[in-house]
């Protein structure tokens, strides 16, 4: 591996940095053997926290006890920094919240909700999924022994419910796997016949064409004469079973291609899942907040809860942060450095002693409008009657978007469905309703998919992140210009103030973005301490 390809394979890390990291990890021989045997390297530079030089008692004030703040506090304190965390809320986690019985939420200008789900049921109204390649998040679930379970993020048995198409499949729940089998089957048939008829004779060798047709036959379940006539993979009309009746069962009949095309249901398909949606996905057993709770066990004593930052000042020798605590008392905290993880949507309204350029950059990003609602259902009708275990119901109702079925409590008595997951102007519109109005909207669409929906509904809990104090949005949404101009400014410290959070990553909206940003910023801070 030459040094160019080395640098590109390891995210621009120098060879020295890379070897240092490996040295601290153990098993380097294996890792290197693996890499060369496999012909590709470790994709991410950020699998593990940075090795810090050591704080030697330097004081760091961390603003915000979300994932970025918790990560900073945990790693810096382990390295000998003296850390204090100021957190506006009475609990850690930031947007990583789990609503269960007794959880309270009051949106700005809204009613106070007290979650009244049955014991054991919950909604992750913030982050809810961990893709297998978010190695940073998985680093901490492993280190802290947070037990995980699989999120079923793709389920061919789940329905697509699209109303806006036309033809016999529009406005009807259709199983995604049936749409996939049919349109891919017909596509394979058309393409295989084209190849057979010589369409690619100029482009491909005879041997390749033969292999290609063999692939298409397999992919599309084609007959020997290259026709798609359905497949057991789309399900049976009568399932096979015992004896002679049902015996072999009865195959299902494919949809007509034109009906699939007009239904729009194919919009849910792609060759492989997009990067952020890929299997295997996980969730902590019992709720996503198990992750901040695990951090809290380790750094909880450093956190000053219910502490609202009022002013941030810095000079050549340190940072001072003025805040009010839960009793309303105002205090000022002195530190050598500050890691500020406050969302930019909130930070831009605060009194922060940074340069004008930095302030302008803070103001240059918008935050997503996003809403979720959890609907407690008194039966798991989707499992019992429809035989759908987890996964998502895709709708083309933009107020609802995705209805998601729980990947926990399989075969239990009740369950909490994610009743909508909406964005942008739709999220704004829905969030203008009170919670019962939001539930009614969710139920109206769900009822079109599942006839049991309204009868089964018991109680709802809703969150609209753009209306939630201390967040004012779901996640940072960088446009191209802001990414090019403002983002690099904010990735570097302003004096002694370092920003960190999902907003300073290309994994916006994911916990991994927050964690990896924290890793990067504390490494910079630590290098500076040691260079000094």
Q: Which is nearer to a copy of itself, 356 or 411 (CB)?
A: 411
Cβ distance to a copy of itself smaller for residue 11 or 318: 11
Among 254, 520, 522, 529, binds a copy of itself (CB under 8 A): 520
Task: Say how many C-beta atoms besides its own lie within 10 A of residue 336's C-beta.
Answer: 18
**Residues of this chain, 5-24, that bind a copy of itself according to CB under 8 A:** 8-12
CB of 427 vs a copy of itself, minimal distance in Å? 24
Q: What are phi and psi of 187, to 5 degrees?
A: -60, -45
State both tokens at 517: 């940003």
The nearest distance, CB 299 to a copy of itself, in angstroms, is 20
Tell me which residues in 106-165 interact with a copy of itself (CB under 8 A).
Answer: 132-133, 135, 138, 141-142, 147-150, 152, 154-157
CA angle 185, 191, 195 (to 5 degrees): 140
| Binding residue (CB under 8 A) for a copy of itself from 226, 507, 525, 529 | 507
204 or 433: CB nearest a copy of itself = 204
Pick the closer one to a copy of itself by CB: 10 or 461.
Answer: 10
Question: What's the closest the beta carbon of residue 232 comes to a copy of itself, in angstroms?
Answer: 4
Could you give the C-alpha distances from 131 to 138, 149, 479, in angstroms and in order?
A: 9, 12, 24
Considering only residues 17, 22, 190, 350, which one is a binding residue for a copy of itself as defined by CB under 8 A?
Answer: 190
> What is the closest distance, in whole angstroms, from the C-beta atom of residue 18 to a copy of itself in the complex?
13
Retrieve residue 99's tokens: 């609503």
Interacting residue with a copy of itself among 23, 24, 34, 326 (CB under 8 A): 34
Contact region for a copy of itself (CB under 8 A) — 59-67, 98-106, 330-338, 507-515? Answer: 507-515
CB-nearer residue toward a copy of itself: 75 or 107: 75
392 close to 445: Cβ distance less than 8 angstroms:
no
CA separation for the pair 135, 44 (Å, rounded) = 8
- CA–CA gap between residue 199 and residue 159 (Å, rounded): 36
Q: Which residues between 313 and 372 bind a copy of itself (CB under 8 A)?
A: none
Nearer to a copy of itself, 242 or 531 (CB): 242
Residue that has been written with the tokens 């979720």 in this structure:
372
Nearer Cβ to a copy of itself, position 200 or 428?
A: 200
- Cβ at position 192, least distance to a copy of itself in Å: 10
Rounded-to-integer distance, Cα 510 and Cα 131, Å:
10
Q: How far apart are CA 235 and CA 217, in angstroms?
A: 19
> Least distance to a copy of itself from the beta carbon of 337, Å?
17
80 binds a copy of itself (CB under 8 A): no
CA distance 97 to 67: 11
Residues 474-493 that bind a copy of itself (CB under 8 A): 487-488, 491
Q: For 302-369, where are the E strands, in sequence order?
A: 303-304, 308-315, 318-324, 330-335, 337-340, 351-352, 366-367
- Binding residues among 370-399 for a copy of itself as defined by CB under 8 A: 381, 385-391
Distance of closest approach, residue 239 Cβ to a copy of itself, in angstroms = 4
C-alpha–C-alpha distance, residues 61 and 320, integer Å: 9
Q: By CB under 8 A, tell whether 33 contacts a copy of itself.
A: yes
CB neighbour class for 363 (10 Å; exposed up to 12, middle 13-18, buried from 19): middle
Residues 215-254 that bind a copy of itself (CB under 8 A): 215-216, 218-221, 231-250
455 touching a copy of itself, by CB under 8 A: yes
CA 345 from chain centre, in angstroms, equals: 20
Q: Which is nearer to a copy of itself, 236 or 305 (CB)?
A: 236
Rank residues 107 and 452 by Cβ distance to a copy of itself and give the closer one.
452
* Minimal distance, residue 479 CB to a copy of itself, in Å: 14
Residues 398-427: x where in contact with a copy of itself by CB under 8 A, - otherwise, as a string:
---------x--xx----------------
Residue 93 Cβ vs a copy of itself, minimum distance, rounded to whole Å: 20
Q: What does the DSSP assignment read for 358-425?
A: HHHHHTT-EE--EEEEEEEESS-HHHHTT---SEEEEES-TTTBEEEE-SSSTT-S-EEEEEEEEEHH
> Please, what is the minimum distance in Å from the beta carbon of residue 434 to a copy of itself?
29
Q: Which of 270, 330, 481, 527 binds a copy of itself (CB under 8 A)?
A: 270
User: Nearest 5 degrees, angle CA 405-CA 152-CA 176?
Assistant: 75
Within 278-307, the residues that bind a copy of itself by CB under 8 A are: 278-280, 282
Q: Are 75 and 518 in contact (CB under 8 A)?
A: yes
Cβ(438)–Cβ(426) below 8 Å: no
- Between 213 and 441, whose beta carbon lies closer to a copy of itself? 213
Q: Exposed, middle or buried by CB within 10 Å (0-12, 13-18, 19+), for 255?
A: buried
**Smallest distance from a copy of itself to CB 399, Å:** 21
Provide the phi-psi class of 215: left if phi over 0, else alpha when psi is between -120 and 50, else beta.
alpha
Candidates 103, 122, 337, 450; binder of a copy of itself (CB under 8 A) is 450
Cross-strand bridge partners of residue 416: 376
Please, what is the minimum distance in Å from the beta carbon of residue 324 to a copy of itself? 31
Question: Of the two residues 276 and 325, which places its CB atom closer to a copy of itself in the complex?
Answer: 276
Residue 506: alpha-carbon gap to chain centroid: 12
Please give the Cα distance from 48 to 269 (Å, whole number).
34
């Amino acid at each position: 591996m030459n040094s160019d390809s080395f640098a590109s394979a390891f995210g621009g890390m120098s060879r020295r940095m890379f070897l240092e990291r490996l040295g601290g990890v153990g098993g380097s021989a294996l890792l290197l053997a693996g890499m060369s045997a496999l012909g590709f390297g470790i994709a991410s530079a950020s699998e593990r926290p940075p090795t810090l030089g050591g704080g030697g008692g330097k004081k760091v004030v961390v603003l915000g006890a979300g994932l970025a703040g918790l990560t900073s506090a945990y790693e810096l304190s382990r390295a000998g920094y003296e850390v204090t965390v100021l957190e506006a809320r009475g609990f850690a986690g930031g947007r990583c919240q789990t609503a269960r019985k007794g959880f309270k939420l009051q949106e700005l200008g809204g009613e106070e909700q007290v979650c009244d789900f049955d014991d054991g049921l919950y909604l992750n109204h913030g982050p809810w999924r961990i893709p297998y390649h978010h190695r940073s998040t998985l680093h901490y679930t492993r280190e802290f022994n947070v037990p995980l379970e699989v999120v079923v993020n793709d389920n061919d048995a789940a329905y697509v419910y699209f109303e806006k198409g036309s033809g016999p499949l529009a406005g009807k729940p259709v199983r995604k796997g049936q749409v996939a089998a049919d349109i891919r089957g017909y596509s394979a048939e058309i393409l295989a016949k084209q190849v057979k008829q010589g369409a690619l004779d100029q482009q491909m060798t005879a041997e390749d064409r033969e292999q290609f047709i063999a692939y298409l036959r397999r992919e599309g379940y084609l007959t020997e004469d290259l026709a798609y006539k359905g497949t057991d993979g789309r399900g049976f009309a009568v399932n096979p079973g015992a004896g002679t009746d049902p015996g072999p069962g009865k195959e299902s009949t494919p949809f007509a291609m034109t009906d699939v095309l007009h239904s729009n249901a194919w919009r849910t398909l792609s060759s492989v899942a997009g990067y952020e949606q890929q299997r295997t996905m996980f969730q902590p057993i019992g709720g996503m907040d198990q992750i901040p709770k695990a951090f809290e066990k380790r750094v909880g004593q450093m956190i000053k809860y219910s502490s609202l930052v009022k002013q941030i000042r810095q000079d050549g020798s340190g940072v001072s942060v003025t805040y009010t605590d839960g009793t309303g008392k105002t205090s000022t905290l002195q530190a050598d450095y500050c890691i500020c993880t406050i969302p930019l949507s909130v930070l831009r309204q605060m009194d922060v002693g940074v340069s004008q350029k930095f302030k302008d950059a803070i103001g240059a990003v918008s935050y997503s409008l996003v809403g979720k609602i959890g609907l407690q259902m008194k039966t798991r009708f989707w499992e019992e009657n429809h035989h759908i275990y987890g996964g998502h119901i895709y709708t083309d109702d933009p107020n609802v978007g995705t209805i998601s079925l729980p990947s926990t409590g399989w075969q239990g008595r009740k369950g909490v469905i994610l009743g909508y997951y909406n964005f942008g102007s739709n999220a704004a519109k829905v969030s203008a309703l009170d919670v019962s109005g939001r539930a009614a909207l969710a139920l109206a669409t769900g009822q079109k998919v599942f006839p049991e929906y309204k009868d089964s509904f018991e109680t709802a809990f809703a969150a609209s992140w753009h209306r939630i104090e201390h967040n004012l949005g779901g996640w940072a949404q960088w446009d191209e210009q802001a990414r090019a101009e403002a983002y690099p400014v904010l990735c570097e410290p302003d004096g002694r103030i370092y920003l960190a959070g999902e907003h300073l990553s290309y994994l916006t909206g994911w916990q991994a973005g927050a964690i990896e940003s924290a890793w990067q910023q504390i490494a910079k801070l630590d290098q500076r301490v040691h260079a000094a």
